[in-house]
Amino acid sequence: MQLKPSDVVSRPVYAPLAPQIEAGRHWLVLEAGAMHEALLSSLVAAFAPVADRLQVWWVGPVHQSLGLSPVTVLGDLDALQSAMTGQGLLRVSDRLFVQGSEPFVWSVFLAARQLGLAPGQVQLAHAGSQRRRVWCTHCHGFTDGVTTNLVDCAGCGRHLLVRDHFSRRHGAFMGVMVDAEQPGVRPAMQEVFP
């Protein structure tokens, strides 16, 4: 099922990643599971002009030739956060570029914000699965990998309706109790976020 464009203004809109020639250090973070050869080739070409200021972090297993150098392969988001922390003093001219699934790019964005990068220093681009991370408005817990319009909250177990409203503060879509106003009345479950 193809997702319809959303009328909800909080829904992120992503542009292709593009280096900022006038900026200093460029960090390119790529989620292994979201990358395919054509996308990787376009990124190699796009970032060629800043190759002397580019550090690439590949998060996940390597199953293909990357065509980028130098590349640091990291096992998971925790390893990435350690690598980001180890970069030393951050400068106003530093830029972070992140390509991957929506939960991945927003996890990296939130980590970058904690390290002191301003929103304008970070570019995000979505690639791969449409699966959502859902934030429960009731228990404030998260449920990951959601592909349906309804989901049982991993925190409190409530049946949640997955809204198209996106919280940048939480890096997740909002989930509200589906039958709060009319107990027992629920829409049919549908697979909508492949």
Which residues of the chain form beta strands (DSSP E)? 26-31, 54-59, 71-74, 95-100, 122-126, 132-136, 142-146, 150-152, 159-167, 172-177
* CATH 3.40.50.80 boundaries in the chain: 26-126
Would you say residue 36 has pLDDT above 60?
A: yes
pLDDT mean over 148-153: 97
pLDDT at residue 88 in the model: 77
68/192: higher pLDDT: 192
CATH of domain 26-126: 3.40.50.80
Would you say residue 2 has pLDDT above 60?
A: no
The model's confidence at residue 145, banded by pLDDT at 50, 70 and 90, is very high
Question: Strand pairing partners for 99?
Answer: 30, 125
Question: Strand pairing partners for 124?
Answer: 98
The model's confidence at residue 53, banded by pLDDT at 50, 70 and 90, is very high
pLDDT at residue 89 in the model: 73
Identify the DSSP state of 2: P
Would you say residue 1 has pLDDT above 50?
A: no
Percentage of the chain surpassing pLDDT 70? Answer: 96
Give the C-alpha separation, 109 to 10, whole Å: 16
pLDDT mean over 57-68: 84
